Amino acid sequence: MADNPVRRGWLGHLTRRSVLAGAVASAAFPAVAATTSAATASPRSAAVPGMRTAQATGTTRRVTIYAEALPGGLFGYGLAPGEATIPGPLLEIVEGDTLEIELVNTTNQRLSIHPHGVDYDVFSDGAPFNDSFNEPGETRTYVWRSRERSTGGGRVWLPGTAGYWHYHDHALGGDHGTQGLQKGLYGGLIVRRKGDLLPDKTFVVVFNDMTINNKMAPEAPMFDSNLGERVEWLCIGHGSMEHTFHLHAHRWADTRTGYLDGPNDLTQAVDNKDLNPGSSFGFQVIAGEGVGAGAWMYHCHVQFHSDGGMAGIFLVRNEDGSIPDHAQEAIDRYHAHHGGLGDHSGHAG
């Protein structure tokens, strides 16, 4: 039986960065890789030589994450003491990589970190069911593994772990972490396949009951890019309510990446997709492609949800980074329209 990877006490484990094969690397974006040529890229990247693509390394990436109490009765994950956010840091790996997470619980509550979409043993489950969680003040290491597609014999193929996933608490306030989710203990997890195009920016959007990232309009997140940038959206659902995610003026293929495989790929293009508790998906688009710079809405398309404050702004600036006049006017109207709702960041239920 493997050792239970728990260490009592969290002082002395204040690691700021993750360790990548013995070298210091950014924990938030550990999958950033060098450019590949069209000859070695995947079909989706073959038409854009020189673009940055994900590279398989088969390494173990290590990161320390701190679970902390936040004002207003909220909680968050962060890469250093005092840096907890809602959502927590975006974690990225490439199929074949292993991610070791040293979770430091600085709170007076039991909590954990539980992933979707990757492989782990019972000691890294992050669920009280398997006695896998952090007591107050404990440090525990969770190990998540990824793998490539493989053949199951004949025409049968197993999908591997590439996808747009997420992680969250599974222990605060009960055996399923319901309070942890309500109070902000969640974040994005991306497992890329070798050759996947890397974005200029990634936006993490969490529909958590009647909030977006535990906020409501006019305090919902405003995501920002320049015209022509490749932007990636990771959309996650939490809570107990059904939602749909809609992005104005942009659309994507309903595939793992949001791209088509080629001219004969008949996958449907969508701009609205179900986003229900525990589900997640992602896609990439070119900001403002075909529609120009401006302030574009994203929101839940369940009507009383958007009316109730589940609406935010995707700001596409001009190429030089300036804001078009009409975009600023739209932002002002958004704040005026939703101003009476106030900030409900402490109420995900």
Q: What is the pLDDT of residues 8-22, one digit of tens each?
A: 332 222 223 222 222
13 compared with 314, residue with greater pLDDT: 314
pLDDT of residue 57: 81
* Parent domain of 273: 199-349
pLDDT of residue 340: 59
Helices of type H across the chain: 178-182, 303-307, 325-338
The reply to whether 221 and 330 lie within a common domain is yes
Mean pLDDT rounded to a whole number for the chain: 85
Residue 318 reports pLDDT greater than 70 = yes
Confidence of residue 338 (pLDDT cuts 50, 70, 90): confident
Beta bridge partners of 300: 245
pLDDT of residue 50: 61
The reply to whether 293 and 242 lie within a common domain is yes
The reply to whether 31 and 130 lie within a common domain is yes
DSSP 128: G
**CATH number of the domain to which 205 belongs:** 2.60.40.420
pLDDT of residue 347: 41
Map tokens 């809405």 to a residue: 297
Non-local (6+) Cβ contacts of 318 within 8 A are: 226, 227, 293, 324
Query: Domain ends where: 166, 198, 230?
Result: 198
The reply to whether 53 and 161 lie within a common domain is yes
What mean pLDDT comes out for the span 89-118? 97
Residue 209 reports pLDDT greater than 60 = yes
**145 alpha-carbon distance from chain centroid:** 17
Query: Domain ends where: 158, 178, 198?
Result: 198
Confidence of residue 200 (pLDDT cuts 50, 70, 90): very high
pLDDT of residue 121: 97
The reply to whether 60 and 160 lie within a common domain is yes
Write the single-letter amino acid at 300.
C
pLDDT of residue 46: 34
Non-local (6+) Cβ contacts of 23 within 8 A are: none
Query: What is the number of domains present in the chain?
Result: 2
Residue 99 reports pLDDT greater than 90 = yes
SS3 (DSSP) at 63: strand
Q: What is the pTM of this model?
A: 0.83
Sheet containing 294-300, strands listed edge to edge, beginning at the edge strand earlier in sequence: 222-226, 311-317, 294-300, 244-247, 272-274
Q: What is the pLDDT of residues 238-264, one digit of tens each?
A: 999 999 999 999 999 999 999 999 999
pLDDT of residue 10: 29
In angstroms, the CA 325 to CA 295 distance is 10
Write the single-letter amino acid at 329.
E
The reply to whether 145 and 265 lie within a common domain is no
The reply to whether 180 and 237 lie within a common domain is no
In angstroms, the CA 228 to CA 230 distance is 7
Query: Domain ends where: 177, 198, 219?
Result: 198
> Among 10-19, 118-127, 191-200, 261-270, whose mean pLDDT is lowest?
10-19
The reply to whether 150 and 286 lie within a common domain is no
Non-local (6+) Cβ contacts of 152 within 8 A are: 158
Residue 96 reports pLDDT greater than 90 = yes
pLDDT of residue 40: 26
Query: What tokens appear for 24 in the block?
Result: 């210091």
The reply to whether 186 and 233 lie within a common domain is no
**106 alpha-carbon distance from chain centroid:** 23
Residue 327 reports pLDDT greater than 90 = yes
**240 alpha-carbon distance from chain centroid:** 19
The reply to whether 268 and 345 lie within a common domain is yes
The reply to whether 139 and 56 lie within a common domain is yes
What mean pLDDT comes out for the span 218-233? 97
Residue 43 reports pLDDT greater than 80 = no
The reply to whether 190 and 236 lie within a common domain is no
72 compared with 151, residue with greater pLDDT: 72
For 66-96, the DSSP string reads EEEEEGGGEEEEESSTT--BSSEEEEEEETT
Confidence of residue 159 (pLDDT cuts 50, 70, 90): confident
